[in-house]
Amino acid sequence: MYKPLTNKKIYLASASPRRRQLLTNLDVEVSLIPPREVDESYPDDLPPEHVAEYVSRKKADAYTHDIEPGCVVITADTVVICDNEVLGKPHGGAEGARQMLRRLSGKEHKVVTGVTLTTYEHGMTSFSTTTRVWFKPLTDEEIDYYVSKYSPTDKAGAYGIQEWIGYIGIPRIEGDYYNVMGLPLHDLFMMLSTLN
């Protein structure tokens, strides 16, 4: 364990095993709490880059009434922005996932993760981190193989950078790689360090 980053007890409210693993990688003590039911909708006129942070705050809202002194609760949301439009998880099963990947194929998109830290003492602090990602032109054969083998229907943008399509299809990113996986570890580590 790295020295306590903060004197608060750290809780992660997330159902995502990847996010849990990422946070554990910081070598800090983390407790998991089950995520609560949240309406993840957002106003139509919210700029796309603000959506993830907005949703992470909505997720945090569910804990503000019963958070205890000395604790910090982390909530997060990740979205993909392509042609200025927010893409969440694909609808319509495998065909929805294939459509989303055809849309990302051969161009740049952004991945934004919004993170909210909630404490009894200070309320909510939130931030978001953006990484630019480039997909090579994907062939139908590559998309079909990936979707049928890896079932990415539970992922924003219908892909995991840490899966086959990320290995063969992404020649370039600009920013924090772990942000694309679901948590901006560098920024989160810095924020936790300043939280007392």
Q: Which positions are catalytic?
A: 77
Does 30 participate in binding a second copy (rule CB under 8 A)? no
Does 53 participate in binding a second copy (rule CB under 8 A)? no
Q: How far is Cα 94 from Cα 196, in angstroms, rounded to an integer?
A: 45
Does 120 participate in binding a second copy (rule CB under 8 A)? no
- In the list 64, 108, 187, 195, the residue contacting a second copy (rule: CB under 8 A) is 187
Q: Which residue, 73 or 191, is less far from a second copy as judged by CB?
A: 191
Can you give the length of the chain in residues? 196
* Other residues' Cβ atoms within 10 Å of the Cβ of residue 189: 15
Q: Using an 8 Å Cβ cutoff, are 79 and 88 in contact?
A: yes
Does 145 participate in binding a second copy (rule CB under 8 A)? yes
Q: Which residues pair with 126 in a beta bridge?
A: 116
Q: How far is Cα 21 from Cα 14, in angstroms, rounded to an integer?
A: 11
- In the list 62, 153, 189, 195, the residue contacting a second copy (rule: CB under 8 A) is 189
**# binding residues, a second copy (CB under 8 A):** 29
Does 173 participate in binding a second copy (rule CB under 8 A)? yes
